[in-house]
Amino acid sequence: MIYLDHAATTPVPKAVADAMYEVLTRQYGNPSSQYGLGLEMKRRMEAWRQSVAAAMDCPADRLFFTSCGTEGDNWAIRAALWQNRHVGRHIVTTAVEHSAVLECCKWLERDEYEVTYLAPDQQGGITAQQVLDAVRPDTALVSVMLVNNELGTIYPIAEIAENLPHKNEKTLLHTDAVQGLTTFSCKALHADLVSVSAHKIGGPKGIGALYIGPRLRNPRPLLPGGGQESALRSGTEATAQIAGFAKAAELRMANKQKDQAHLQTIKAQAIEELTKIPDLQILTPQGAPHILSVSLPGWPSQNIVNDLSAQNICVSAGSACHQGKPSHVISALRLPKRTASGVIRLSFGPETTPAEITACAAALRTHRETRLPML
């Protein structure tokens, strides 16, 4: 199988699975238990927190485990709005956020919050100035992602953070950094809230983390209960998942330079080989090195995905499965209809090989040559 969908999820390396197995079968104590097995788990929990915090460059005592990136996004937004409940009910976000942020904002609109959705340019770009111009005296929260999951576009979070206080010193800044984990530093980004997820970096599904910065003095608990996660997110800790998250973060950090160079080479090769296919358009040559969005205008993306899938090649459709309609991200780019409906996303990981790129390019070329385009 050729797996070119690392932005959707990633394979778990054996060392990560082994770390999880050890916790499931031998270190199964509850970190709240007061005997050896539990106390040992408590100690290891904090070591694992340190590993994930190191991968985000943030203090471990401000990092809290969540059940996924979606939970971190929802918690961050709700925590910021609670903290700023006397500032106002206005939120600034973008039209290209992950649904985890957009759907949360839509629910908030039902609760009489007002949300400004910023429109991107044709590469998905949004400038810091655009964001700052939208901030008002009653803006409680700005939520802008770090790396777009469909396009790979990178957003200027540090620049927004630097200038936000000049527009409104109370406004809090959240960034969904799920697609950027191990490539950024919380200290350099200066966002108040940063959410991440393990399964995008070789960790297991069902575990994420949220950095909550010092401007949130008394964050509102997401789940009141038994007091775990500094009483902010109660529930017995998902120890095996957390162990896997920590091991994945350690592995990715140890190989960071090598992996980034590899991804850049792979993306450059993909651009070079795909550009040779007649009609094919490269939509995002810049941006994160693990994501490449392309379009075959006139050839519906779901047909491409199905055809490649039949050859055991996994890529994803930019015009997701919404009855052939482009995703909200692709729609926001305002591309011509034929271009928008032919978008596919290739996304790479440290395991991706040059031969896999060549095989995928060949399959796409064959699709282009043997399937009739839509009128």
Active site residues: 321
Instruction: Tell the smallest beta-carbon distance from residue 52 to ligand PLP (Å).
Output: 14
Would you say 92 or 210 has its CB closer to ligand PLP?
210
Residues that bind ligand PLP in the complex, under the rule CB under 6 A: 68-70, 73, 98, 100, 145, 149, 176, 178-179, 197, 199, 208
Instruction: Tell the smallest beta-carbon distance from residue 132 to ligand PLP (Å).
Output: 22
Q: Is the dihedral of CA 170, 76, 219, 59 positive or negative?
A: negative
Could you list the beta-strand ranges (E) of 39-126: 63-66, 90-94, 114-118
Instruction: Tell the smallest beta-carbon distance from residue 69 to ligand PLP (Å).
Output: 3
**316 membership: H or E segment, kind and range:** strand 316-317
Would you say 297 or 349 has its CB closer to ligand PLP?
349
Residue entry with tokens 């290209």: 96
Would you say 66 or 83 has its CB closer to ligand PLP?
66
Q: Is the distance from CB of 159 to CB of 128 less than 8 angstroms?
A: yes
Residue entry with tokens 């961050």: 76
CA atoms of 87 and 9, how far apart (whole Å): 38
Beta-carbon contacts of residue 55 (< 8 Å; ≥ 6 apart): 181, 182, 201, 249, 250, 252, 253
Would you say 81 or 178 has its CB closer to ligand PLP?
178
Would you say 174 or 367 has its CB closer to ligand PLP?
174
Instruction: Tell the smallest beta-carbon distance from residue 113 to ligand PLP (Å).
Output: 20
Q: Closest-CB residue for ligand PLP?
A: 69
Provide the β-strand partners of residue 254.
none
Helix, strand, coil percentages (3-state) for the chain, rounded to 5, are 45, 15, 40
Alpha carbon 93 to its chain centroid, in Å, reads 15
CA atoms of 295 and 281, how far apart (whole Å): 5
Instruction: Tell the smallest beta-carbon distance from residue 314 to ligand PLP (Å).
Output: 15
Three-class secondary structure of residue 151 per DSSP = coil
